[in-house]
């Protein structure tokens, strides 16, 4: 049974047995206790966002706790905060111990809101959140257009009644959650990712290149993406070969990380090594892995590319733009919303090597235009994609969902681009629609 449960305003009592006025008195002024449950805190876009969310949630409204399932804390240690970190480490793929550990922590910490990130955390979080009566269980959708994964899809559809809200980081992700996984439209919202505009800033390109040992005065075209097949590095390397025919002094900086425990990553990297030799461009490509100084590496680039087959809202696009480095990406997910004439970027079709090559060569040939695009990119993220705005939007969804489930008044804190109407609608949804 839910610890607090949905309020029944038509009568005088809530599921907990308390009168609604008694429950309101208990809740009044108390911060919501939030657990951010993640499969990993190793290098990765989702993992980075979890760490940032833990740092940026408003401490006047929330008391966050991080819980990690694989025993890593790499990104947290690189970017520490006052957030407590709990470990519920798996010993094997189907280890039942983390279920018990997470469930015990949810009860011990009296968690009000449980937000799950990445699939293993979704499995454990949905089940333990439901069993222990957490008032608001939040799922994440950070990608879109997945290949069919029968077991995962079946699980997500079967457990969607245990989820009170899905927060997607792209419109494409919301369409996936509603269309393929069966979530109701009013149980899914979109909050685009945010970026640290204080860490990722424009800087001296020459100094940045000298610090990483890149000599020469030619342009540098970067790509920042993990070694996963969905990132489609092959397109980046093919485009590099075509660009080098027209801009022979260009260098291509490929920054990546090896996903922890991904059995396919080694095979993927081996295939890319073979392609580098086949294209005969190895001497013009610099590959750096598992770096903790990516903000410096962005500054070394004149522009960056992203050739992904599927995405949500790519962190690397926002980080590059915040660094004053314009982006050309494939037209997947919400890339076209972010990258346009007003933001100094553009999109091309998936695997359209010719179109991407043409755009890259045009931009590199127009230095004044590249400088203008750099300024537009920076302004765009400052105005619309700051971490504070992003965290406040997510926090408002926590408050509104918890209010819908318990009857506690939501304390909304509207970010610059927040949708107050949507938040009010969500927070006043009656318990009867469950």
What does the DSSP assignment read for 189-223?
EE----B-TTTS----HHHHHHHTT--SSS-EEEE
Beta-carbon contacts of residue 415 (< 8 Å; ≥ 6 apart): 388, 389, 390, 392, 393, 396
pLDDT band with cut points at 50, 70 and 90 for residue 285: very high
Two structure tokens written together for 406: 């318990």
Per-residue pLDDT tens over the stretch 348-370: 999 999 999 999 999 999 999 99
Instruction: Work out the angle at residue 194's Cα, subtended by the Cα atoms of residues 160 and 329, and round it to the nearest 5 degrees.
Output: 90
Q: Give the pLDDT band (50/70/90) at residue 27.
A: low
In order of their start, the domains of the chain are 20-194+386-433 (3.40.50.2000), 205-384 (3.40.50.2000)
Q: How confident is the model at residue 16 (pLDDT cuts 50, 70, 90)?
A: very low
pLDDT of residue 81: 84
For the chain, first and last CA: distance in Å? Answer: 15
Tokens representing residue 249 in the block: 């002094």
Q: What are the structure tokens assigned to 195, written together?
A: 């970026």
| Encoded tokens for 144 | 């879109």
Q: What are phi and psi of 394, to 5 degrees?
A: -65, -45
- The mean pLDDT of 280-291, rounded to a whole number, is 94
Residue count of the chain: 434
What was the pLDDT predicted at 11?
41
**Which pair of structure tokens corresponds to residue 331?**
């037209």
Entry pTM: 0.79
- Does the pLDDT of residue 261 top 70, yes or no? no
Ranked by mean pLDDT, which of 13-27, 41-55, 255-269, 348-362 comes out on top?
348-362
**DSSP state letter for 148:** P
3-class SS at 371? helix
Please give the average per-residue pLDDT across 52-77, as a whole number. Answer: 90
Treating both helix axes as pointing N-terminal to C-terminal, what angle do 420-427 and 387-406 enclose, rounded to 10 degrees?
20
Cβ atoms of residues 369 and 341 within 8 Å: no
The residues, ordered by sequence, that sit 6+ positions from 94 with a Cβ below 8 Å of its Cβ are none
Cα 327 from Cα 308, distance rounded (Å): 13
pLDDT score, position 262: 60
Higher pLDDT, 377 or 94: 377
pLDDT digit string, tens, across residues 96-154? 889 999 999 999 999 999 999 999 999 999 999 999 999 999 999 987 777 778 889 99
């Amino acid at each position: 049974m839910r610890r607090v449960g949905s309020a029944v305003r038509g009568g005088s009592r809530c599921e907990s047995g308390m009168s609604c006025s008694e429950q309101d008195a208990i809740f009044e002024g108390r911060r919501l206790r939030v657990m951010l449950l993640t499969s990993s805190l190793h290098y990765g876009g989702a993992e980075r966002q979890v760490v940032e969310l833990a740092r940026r949630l408003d401490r006047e409204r929330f008391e966050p706790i991080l819980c990690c399932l694989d025993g890593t804390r790499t990104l947290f240690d690189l970017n520490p905060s006052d957030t407590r970190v709990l470990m519920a480490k798996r010993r094997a793929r189907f280890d039942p111990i983390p279920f018990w550990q997470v469930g015990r922590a949810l009860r011990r910490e009296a968690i009000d809101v449980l937000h799950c990130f990445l699939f293993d955390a979704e499995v454990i979080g949905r089940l333990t959140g439901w069993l222990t009566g957490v008032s608001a269980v939040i799922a994440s959708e950070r990608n879109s257009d997945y290949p069919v994964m029968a077991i995962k899809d079946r699980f997500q559809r079967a457990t969607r009644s245990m989820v009170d809200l899905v927060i997607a980081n792209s419109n494409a992700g919301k369409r996936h959650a509603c269309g393929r996984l069966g979530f109701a439209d009013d149980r899914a919202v979109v909050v685009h990712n945010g970026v640290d505009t204080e860490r990722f800033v424009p800087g001296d390109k020459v100094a940045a290149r000298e610090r990483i040992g890149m000599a020469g005065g030619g342009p540098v075209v970067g790509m920042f993406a993990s070694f996963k097949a969905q990132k489609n590095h092959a397109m980046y390397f093919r485009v590099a070969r075509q660009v080098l025919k027209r801009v022979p002094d260009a260098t291509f900086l490929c920054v990546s990380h090896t996903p922890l425990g991904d059995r396919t990553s080694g095979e993927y990297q081996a295939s890319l090594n073979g392609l580098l030799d086949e294209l005969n461009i190895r001497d013009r490509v610099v590959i750096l892995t598992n770096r903790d100084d990516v903000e410096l590496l962005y500054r070394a680039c004149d522009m960056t590319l992203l050739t992904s087959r599927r995405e949500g809202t790519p962190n690397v696009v926002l980080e590059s733009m915040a660094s004053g480095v314009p982006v050309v990406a494939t037209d997947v997910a919400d890339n076209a919303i972010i990258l346009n004439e007003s933001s100094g970027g553009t999109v091309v079709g998936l695997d359209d090597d010719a179109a991407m090559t043409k755009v890259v060569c045009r931009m590199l040939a127009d230095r004044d235009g590249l400088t203008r695009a750099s300024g537009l990119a920076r302004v765009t993220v400052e105005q619309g994609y700051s971490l504070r705005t992003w965290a406040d939007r997510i926090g408002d969804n926590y408050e509104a969902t918890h209010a819908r489930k318990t009857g506690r008044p939501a304390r909304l804190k509207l970010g610059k681009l927040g949708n107050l109407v949507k938040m009010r609608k969500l927070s006043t949804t009656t318990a009867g629609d469950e």
